[in-house]
Amino acid sequence: MSQGIERASRRDWMAVYGAALGAFIAVLDIQIINASLADIQGALSASVEEGSWISTAYMIAEIVMIPLSGWLVQVLSIRTYMRYTIVLFVAASMLCGLAWSLESMILFRVLQGIGAAPLIPLAFSLVRLRLPASDQAKGMALFSFSAVFAPAIGPSLGGWLTETFSWHLIFYINLVPGIIMFLMLSASLDKEPMQLNKLREADWPGIFTLSLGLATLEYFLEEGNRKDWFGSEIIVWTALIAAVSLVTFTWLQLTRERPLLNLRLLGQRQFLMATLANMGLGLGLYGSVYILPLYLSQVQGYNSLQIGEVLMWGGMPQLLLIPMVPRLMKRVSPRLMASLGFILMAFSVYLNTTMTGDYAGDQFRLSLLIRAMGQPFIMIPLSMLAMEKILPKDVSSASSLFNTLRNLSGAIGIALLATIIQRHSTLHAARLSETLPMYGDLTQQRLDTLSAVMPQLSFQQQVGLIARQLTEQATIMAYADAFYIVAFVLVLGFCATLLTRNWRISRVTVR
């Protein structure tokens, strides 16, 4: 490693561009199937619950492999490891498009998740290790495309491809960028010998407890709401295994001289506060991307293409804003920029808490535009704040923790929001029913109005129509509650950002 580097070479930038492309594709593949899941389920003759494993399998594989990436780089070298994983990712993507059954699709999605996982933390690490401090904001701008733009554009792209062509194409499109990033990283990363002897020295108890803990935790979060949480025996056992495994892993990492992940980094105030803010961003970002398509589909009856057209308003403006952020950081404090971003995102989500039955795509446009303005102001400055005091030897651990916890908070948020929507729909329906008793004045007035407007309806049909309207209103109120939760978490992210220290460009950098 060399110090005092003032300019990055073309080879350095090629490595950063190739890794950023990989991170973008990896995050994109989490979201791109959301708008097309119904089509895939139908093609594979899968139920809604069975089809959910198409997403769950990818998420479990990815969230387990991300924190292991730093260790695997030491064993295989970064060039060899990334080349292997890109080949695996592209091959698995092609197989997903050729899947002939639900079981084969789930297997290929697991392989795809294993191949995609290291592309996220290693892109983050390469920005830190290959670029001088004066260029790291630009590098983080490239990385932020994966973190904030890919989730916003994923459902839109997936919906358009499915409606215009076929769902198979959402997997086949990975071929071209996969080949490009393989060639770029092959040319820009140095050949280094593998150190297979480190397999004998590995923290195998840590690897086992971390993998088991994260896999069972992700299963608990993904399946808990569908199985009525602790009303299901398998969910109880999964939660117990996850808790014991992760507590054991934490104890092992804090007591070992050379841990798999350096959890002591969370003892640094700067990294801890930035990571907590990043977790707030993860829940806000993935949570809002989860709620909005579900609302448009369930309440407004939008198809995947229509959902994609709405979400484009939250994605495309970021293409213009993200390149501007590094320039703004030369004049504006990163802490101030990230704080402003959280305020804009929280406000955009809060605008959606006043929904009515007429609240559809056009009504979301303003909130999506405001969110698109806020997101780029968060990720780049927040990443710089987090990595300010991280030593080169801890970059891999810091990157793994920073990205794993953001993804994990997103999974926690989705599970929480799904539960809130389901339970609050029932709660609001019960409360609305209390205000509309069968023989009350308001109910009778509504029946009289229906009789005048639609005299062809029988009494039972009129009552059924009122009941459906009541259920729809209760559902809308539940979605509003979910948006309140997202806004509140983003406010907490804002508070955590305020507790970081201002970042200043350091003159000493590493390669």
Burial 38-71 (b: 16+ CB within 10 A, else e): ebbbebbebeeeebbbbbbbbbbbbbbbbbbbbb
CA distance 253 to 70: 15
CA distance 483 to 294: 13
Give residue 442's pLDDT band: very low, low, confident or very high (50, 70, 90).
Answer: low
Query: Would you say residue 294 lies in a domain?
Result: yes
CA distance 152 to 288: 9
Query: Would you say residue 252 lies in a domain?
Result: no
Side chain identity, residue 509: T
- pTM score of the predicted model: 0.79
Q: What is the mean pLDDT of the chain?
A: 81
Q: What is the CATH number of the domain that holds 95?
A: 1.20.1250.20
Q: Please report the DSSP string for 248-264 in residue order.
A: HHHHHHHH-SS-SS-GG
CA distance 432 to 311: 31
The region that residue 229 occupies, defined by phi over 0 for left and psi between -120 and 50 for alpha, beta otherwise, is: left
Cα four-point dihedral sign 194, 199, 202, 204: positive
3-class SS string, 287-309: HHHHHHHHHHHHCCCCCHHHHHH
Query: Would you say residue 319 lies in a domain?
Result: yes
User: Which of 421, 159, 165 shows the shortest CA–CA distance to 307?
Assistant: 159
Percent of the chain with pLDDT over 70: 87
Q: Which residue has the tokens 């608990």?
A: 220
Query: Would you say residue 251 lies in a domain?
Result: no
Instruction: Report whether pLDDT(235) > 70.
Output: yes
DSSP conformation class of 501: P
In tens, the pLDDT along 75-90 reads 888 889 989 999 999 9
For the ranges 35-39, 130-134, 242-246, the maximum mean pLDDT occurs at 242-246
Range of the domain at 323: 10-202+260-425+476-498
- What are the CA-CA distances from residue 49 to residues 55, 96, 227 (Å)? 11, 19, 10
Q: Which of these ranges, 81-85, 209-213, 378-382, 440-444, has the smallest mean pLDDT?
A: 440-444
CA distance 419 to 216: 19
Instruction: Report whether pLDDT(206) > 90.
Output: no
User: Which of 115, 113, 98 shows the shortest CA–CA distance to 54?
Assistant: 113
**Interhelix angle for 119-130 vs 10-31, to 10°?**
150
- Can you name the residues that pair with 510 across neighbouring β-strands? 3
Position with higher pLDDT, 463 vs 44:
44
Side chain identity, residue 209: T
Query: Would you say residue 150 lies in a domain?
Result: yes
Residue 510: the pLDDT is 33
Other Cβ atoms within 10 Å of 366 Cβ, number: 13
Number of separate domains in the chain:
1
Give residue 5's pLDDT band: very low, low, confident or very high (50, 70, 90).
Answer: very low
User: Which of 410, 432, 411 shows the shortest CA–CA distance to 478?
Assistant: 432
Query: Would you say residue 511 lies in a domain?
Result: no
Query: Would you say residue 194 lies in a domain?
Result: yes
CA distance 108 to 94: 9
- What are the CA-CA distances from residue 496 to residues 126, 386, 431 (Å)? 26, 12, 36
In tens, the pLDDT along 379-399 reads 888 888 888 788 878 887 888
Assigned token pair, 211:
């993998």
Contact 384, 503 (CB under 8 A): yes
Q: How many residues does the chain have?
A: 511
Give residue 503's pLDDT band: very low, low, confident or very high (50, 70, 90).
Answer: low
Position with higher pLDDT, 288 vs 96:
96
